[in-house]
Amino acid sequence: MLLIACPYCGERPEVEFAYGGEAHLVRPADPAALSDEDWAAYLYFRRNPRGLHAERWRHVRGCGRFFNAIRDTTNDRFGATYAVGEDPP
Amino acid sequence: MSALRTPAGGRVDRSRPIRFHFDGVAYEGLAGDTLASALLANGVHLVGRSFKYHRPRGILSAGAEEPNALVTVRRDEARVTPNLRATQVELYEGLVAESQNRWPSLAFDVGRVSDFLSPLFPSGFYYKTFKWPRSAWHALYEPLIRRAAGLGRAPALADPDRYAQRFAHCDVLVVGAGPAGLAAALAAAESGARVILCDEQAEPGGSLLDGGEARIDGAAPADWAAAAIARLSADPRVRVLARTTAFGYFPHNLVGLAERLSDHLADVAPGALRERLWQVRAREVVLATGAIEQPLVFAGNDRPGVMLAGAARIYLNRYGVRAGTRAVVVTTHDAGLRAARDLESAGVEIAAVADLRRGATVGGTRGNLRVSAITVDGRSVACDLVLMCGGFAPAVHLFSQSRGRLTWSDTARAFVPSATAERARSAGACRGTTGLAAALAEGAAAGSAAAREAGHGGASLRFSVAGDEEPARAGPAVAQPLPGGKAFVDFQNDVTARDLALAAREGFRSIEHVKRYTTVGMATDQGKTSNLAALGLVASTLGKPVPDVGHTTFRMPYTPVTFGSLAGFARGELFDPVRRTPMHEAAVALGAVFEDVGQWKRARYFPRPGEDMHAAVARECRAVRGACGLFDASTLGKIAVAGPDAAEFLNRLYVNDFRNLADGRCRYGILLREDGFVYDDGVIARLARDRFHVTTTTGGAARVLAMMEDYRQTEWPELAVWLTSVTEQWAVIAVQGPKAREVLAPLAAGVDLSHAALPHMAVAEGSVAGVPALVLRVSFTGELGYEVNVPASRGREAWDAIAEAGCAQGLTPYGTETMHVLRAEKGYIIVGQDTDGTATPDDAGLAWAIGKNKRDFVGKRSIERASMKDPARRQLVGLRTRDPGTVLEEGAQLVGSPGQAAPMKVIGHVTSSYASAALGHSIALAMLSGGRSRIGGTVYATMPGGDIPVTVTSPVFYDPEGKRLHG
């Protein structure tokens, strides 16, 4: 069970969190203007990197807030956690 | 006392004899014995039959690695624990143990025939044999294999014991209380760190308890260990856990510990805890897990009486037991010679020593139920004990579980830890270090470093060691097996050297594949005494160096953990939370039959005497259609959406247009996922400009709120809107039917229930039966209806008042089954039953709900795709059978023509199906390809009895004009 540092509450066990997938995907302002391919890319295509991954977590059984985290997918080590809307460090 | 017991010495209490039974025979042991040491003291080596060949097997080891001596311990009919290692079962007065995998008796086992037929059972026997005929699999092979598989028998009764679970945090967790572990714990504690020290044995101390001439700070090793434990136990920042196995190493330094609390006691107090599962989150971990002595591979190395040399030494020095009277030693390691020396001083005759490093050779053994001779250098030597030592494998299990990297050490001739993945370090024998002084020094350094890393001062501890044994020299990892006879590599899974050679010849190269093909290392001991030998054999067959072959993956648990321990208190009523509505007891009093809906208990129907479900549901349906019914809808998800931007927020999420929804009005809302498929639905009431009461499906409440929060926090943080779950704050009482107004009107205050004041899809606040209420004029039945929301704490009060007031009008309580029938008669879908995550609003016949002038909402771009508008998509339709009494099976597949051979071309499926009392015939809803264009046509529902022709209809069967809603 991972130990995750919520930026608002501090270190808490993984069971308190919900995973939210890749971070920094912004919903297009005008989806109607997108081609089917571009919309599909937004909906379904993810980086799935080996190594550092910026991803969303929600402290759902705690403060309830979403935040972003950098996790190394090869060893589950977390780098930084930071607020929604902030740039990755 | 038995002649095999030494007159003095060891850790047993000679003043406290303990009586016990093994396979029905009474024996006597001593306090401090394990079942294995007590049996050996009674001259019993034969303790089990092997898994595959049913060969007689004896006690191989003295610890957790034991592959052979698996026994069942029986306290009573419910407390039957199979597959315990006799080497770890502590003796208590009256202990009853049984051998396993034998019939009719341990000494005469019919299953042994498989040993003599063993040429028929090579590696991959199952894969090669049970391939044909196909029909034989279910009828013959599987039942046979299942009967032959497994060891021991699970108890037939429920586990009556109690198990606890605890979370703990510490600066330094030390696993293993041998010399390295004790030194580490002392150093970490001295540094001021919070320490947890765990050890799997009853008495911590590890190899310090095994005697020897060495002195630590002037004390005998066992005395030094006892003093160290006493010092640690007295430190309030240190927790010492004996009988506690660290079984799993999980990410971010979470270590699972299984603590055994009462299995060693003769009398267990009623209600006493049996085991406690610890989840320890440690800043730093010190692994001091020791090393496991390895057997040698030679023909007949599995006969009772053939055991590990170090184990025999432990039985002698710790338990005062001579494992035999005339021993032969076969070794590739100095430890074998040391054991021979100790046993000889204790009066065991050493008939021969075969040091394979000096060119000695060993042939087969002889003897039936006990070894009687072994061939050494071509000469048969009579004996009743063979001691083998193939060196030591560091116990790197936990280290490897933590994803630490292993590297081959030529000095240790084993894999040892290299790079760590966690904040952990290894010390002592588990990293290939030998010698007492070195283990203590390494342990102290590790404990000190761990404490420093955890933010404490690093104390420097030194121990003076006198009389330490010379560093042992290891020989070749594996003795080359001689041809002829069975030379076992994996005792528990009966894998021989020949099996491994065959696998290599058949082309298996990866050690992981060899493992799966031969099952070597796959038994409950996970190859603690076999992996290293298997690796050596595979490497030599392939002509590769051992490190190039690599090692298999270590997985948790280190030793088996009981299900009880893992479940803890989460069993029976505490397995999963049960949610009951405020009116639950009222439904119980009415004799309701309940169904589980997620965690909720919902009243399914209210049978009267003599009624089955069908009759009760028919009566309840008639009551709602003819008069009125009372329904507990409290489980509906409810979300309060408030704030100046509440309408804009809902407008962006739902397909409907909420900007033009007037205060005091409701709208049926549909929520899509961004991929365009229906996610949830529910009535949304606008209480004020900035306040909405959103309802969701019962099962969707949590996920809808989570989705809303996701968009609110991450996509539209600029919107001023707040979301609050109010599901459990409101009790919801639905009153439905033509007489609903008559029932409620006399109870209502401050709210006008007339059609003009409160038309269909309107909402008003007031009170009902003196209880503050939010009254929604909504209907999931097609009848005039109200949903009365009252504070949960007063739900029962309002329910009772309404039920009493409605008596005269025939108000009838109804359950979820009736609710399903009534809504299906109206063609109202249930998300998740009639839709399955691939239905668009149009597929579900709900395109009318989509706001016409909306530029965007969640899912809009997806439903604009051409394929989402394909007329051949499955669409919601109704189905009618020719025979009004035939109720289709939900889930039945629909085909276009009858009598097709499989695979048929499926064009749809039945999603809901009921007998309709109001209509006098069965009804069904279905998702059917191009369904709306097929209305009036015939399709076929495939059922076990044959294809049933059905007519495709509109999904609205009852009151299609909707007049009754507006009554």
- The Cβ of residue B433 has, within 10 Å, a number of other Cβ atoms equal to 21
pLDDT reading at B477 higher than 70: no
Q: List helix spans (H) across B830-897.
A: 860-863
**Region B117-141: what's the mean pLDDT?**
69
- Please name the residue that has the structure tokens 């339709």: B877
Query: How high is the pLDDT of residue B118?
Result: 73
Instruction: Tell me what pLDDT residue B149 has.
Output: 64
Contacts 24+ apart (CB under 8 A), B200-203: B200/B64, B200/B88, B200/B243, B200/B244, B200/B245, B200/B246, B200/B559, B201/B177, B201/B242, B201/B243, B202/B90, B202/B242, B202/B243, B202/B264, B203/B11, B203/B242
Determine the Cα–Cα distance for residues B470 and A38; give it in Å rounded to an integer. 72
d(CA B259, CA B165): 10
CATH at A22: 3.30.2270.10
For chain B, the C-alpha Rg in angstroms (whole number) is: 37
Chain B residues close to A66, C-beta within 8 Å:
709-710, 713-714
By Cβ distance, the residue of A26, A31, A84 closest to B860 is A31
Sorted by where each starts, the structural domains of chain B and their CATH numbers stand as 162-291+394-466 (3.50.50.60), 579-631+729-812 (3.30.1360.120), 636-726+829-860 (3.30.70.1400), 870-967 (2.40.30.110)
Answer whether B395's CB lies under 8 Å from B290's CB: yes
Residue A17 lies in a domain: yes
Asked, for residue A89, whether it belongs to a domain, the answer is no
Residue A55 belongs to a domain: yes
Instruction: Kindly state the helix (H) or strand (E) to which residue B244 belongs, with its residue range.
Output: strand B244-250
Q: What is the pLDDT of residue B31?
A: 97
Query: Is A70 inside a domain boundary?
Result: yes
Domain count, chain A: 1
> Considering only CB atoms, which residues of chain A are within 8 Å of chain B?
1-3, 13, 18, 20, 26-27, 30-32, 34, 36, 39, 43, 56, 58, 60, 64-66, 75-76, 84-85
Q: What is the ipTM of this complex?
A: 0.98
Which of A2, A20, A39 lies at the smallest CB-CB distance from B252?
A: A2
pLDDT tens digit string along B496-509? 999 998 998 899 98
Most B-contacting residue of A22, A26, A35, A36 (CB-CB within 10 A), to test interface:
A36
pLDDT at B144 over 80: no
Identify the pLDDT of residue B130.
65
pLDDT band at residue B63, thresholds of 50, 70 and 90?
A: very high
Q: How many CB atoms lie within 10 A of CB B125?
A: 13
In this structure, the strands spanning B874-881 and B946-953 are antiparallel
Confidence of residue B156 (pLDDT cuts 50, 70, 90): confident
Residues B399 and B388: their CA atoms lie apart, in Å, by: 27
In chain B, DSSP finds a helix count (H) and a strand count (E) of: 24, 49
Q: Residue B400: in which H helix or E strand, if any?
A: helix B397-401
Burial tier of B45 (Cβ tally within 10 Å: 0-12, 13-18, 19+)? buried
Minimal CA separation from A19 to chain B, in Å? 11
Question: What integer pLDDT is reported at residue B148 of this predicted model?
Answer: 65
Determine the pLDDT at residue B787: 98
Residues of A in contact with B280 (CB under 8 A): none
Reported as a pLDDT band with limits 50, 70 and 90, residue B476 is low
**At a CB cut-off of 8 Å and minimum separation 6, what does B310 contact?**
B62, B293, B335, B339, B389
Helix or strand holding residue B800 (H, E): helix B795-805
Ranges of chain A whose pLDDT falls below 50? none
| The dihedral sign for the CA sequence B557, B563, B568, B570 | positive
pLDDT at residue B789 in the model: 98
Residue B147: the pLDDT is: 65
Chain B contact set for A75 (CB, 8 A): 403, 421
pLDDT at B816 over 70: yes
What is the least distance, in Å, from the CA of A11 to any CA of chain B?
Answer: 11
A13 located within any domain: yes
pLDDT above 80: residue B483: no
In a domain, A14, yes or no: yes
Q: Do B710 and A58 touch (CB under 8 A)?
A: yes
Which residues of chain B neighbour A31 with C-beta distances below 8 Å? 856, 860-861
Cβ contact, residue pair B710, A76, below 8 Å = no
Across the range B540-546, mean pLDDT stands at 89
Cα separation, B645 vs B691, whole angstroms: 10
Q: How confident is the model at residue B773 (pLDDT cuts 50, 70, 90)?
A: very high
pLDDT score recorded for residue B402:
95
DSSP characters over B184-216: HHHHHHHTT--EEEE-SSSSTTGGGGG--S-EE
3-state secondary structure of B732: strand
Q: In which residue are the tokens 């003009």 written?
A: B756
- Average pLDDT over chain B reads 94
What is the amino acid identity at position B564? Answer: G
Domain of residue A48: give its range. 3-28+36-83
Name the pLDDT band for B631 (thresholds 50, 70, 90). very high
In this model, does residue B738 exceed pLDDT 90?
yes
pLDDT in tens, B352-385: 999 998 889 998 999 989 999 999 999 999 999 9
In a domain, A60, yes or no: yes
pLDDT tier for residue B484 given thresholds of 50, 70 and 90: low
Residue A57 located in a structural domain: yes
B861 Cα to chain A: minimum distance (Å): 6
Q: Residue B908 is encoded by which pair of tokens?
A: 């749809």
Contact B323, B309 (CB under 8 A): no
pLDDT digits (tens, 9 = 90+) for B827-873: 999 999 999 999 999 999 999 999 999 999 999 999 999 999 999 99
Question: Quick one: pLDDT at residue B109?
Answer: 80
Q: What is the pLDDT of residue B191?
A: 96
